[in-house]
Amino acid sequence: MKAPFVRLSRFRRGYTLVELSLAMMTGMMIAAMLLAIFNQQVAFLKIFSAQSFLTSEAPIINNYLSKVIGSAEGYQLYPNMTTLQGGGSPVLEDAPVLLLLFKEPDGTSRASILSFENPGTGDGLYFRRVTTNGTISDPEWVLSKEVDAVNFYVQEGVLRVRLTGPNQEQIVYSGAQQL
């Protein structure tokens, strides 16, 4: 017996141009939505990273500066470490170096230095000690390497500190009066 004759149906197998167009438009709309969500996340991360200095680093610096400057008996500002080490004259504005003077309970004095500089390990706000014989130590520790600039200045008799962050954001702290 012969196999029955199989007749092809009137409908072809495959997709029509309209179906393919709809599928492509749907795919393109999904891709456009995903791209918009991705761009939104990138923008959010840029904002978050721009504010991370203000939300994480600046409060720590403020805490330290408040305690140290508040307990100092006096201070002097210098335009750079070379001027301070050479015995140059202090200034009143745009100074990256702050010499802090402290009174000890036994009546003696001690000094320490906060300076925005690059001692070979990168720009940062560094702490130095001044020994009893007057020599200035190498930086003992860094308070922050996230700052782009630190300016100490005196305004109306009050010590102010302007910190400039990595995204050019600025914070100004007010300290103590000079004695």
Give the model's confidence band at 39: pLDDT under 50 very low, under 70 low, under 90 confident, else very high: very high
Pairing assessment for the beta strands 97-103 and 109-117 based on DSSP bridges:
antiparallel
User: Is residue 6 scored above 80 in pLDDT?
Assistant: no
Burial of 161 (0-12, 13-18, 19+ CB in 10 A): buried
pLDDT, tens digit, for every residue of 69-92?
888 888 999 999 989 888 889 998
Q: In angstroms, rounded to a whole number, what is the distance separating the alpha carbons of residues 157 and 177?
A: 6
43 CB neighbour count, 10 Å cutoff: 10
Own/partner contacts of 165-171, CB < 8 Å, gap of 24 or more, are: 165/53, 165/54, 165/57, 165/58, 166/53, 167/50, 167/53, 169/50, 169/51, 169/53, 169/54, 171/54, 171/58, 171/62
What mean pLDDT, rounded, does the chain reach? Answer: 87
User: Is residue 57 scored above 80 in pLDDT?
Assistant: yes
Residue 137, C-beta contacts closer than 8 angstroms, at least 6 positions apart: 128, 129, 130, 131
pLDDT, tens digit, for every residue of 92-141?
888 999 999 998 888 888 999 999 999 888 999 999 999 888 889 899 88
Token representation of residue 16: 């029509």
pLDDT, residue 177, reads 55
Q: What sign has the CA pseudo-torsion 48, 142, 68, 158?
A: negative
Q: Which of the two residues, 9 and 125, has the higher pLDDT score? A: 125
pTM of the model: 0.71
Give the model's confidence band at 179: pLDDT under 50 very low, under 70 low, under 90 confident, else very high: very low
pLDDT, residue 73, reads 87
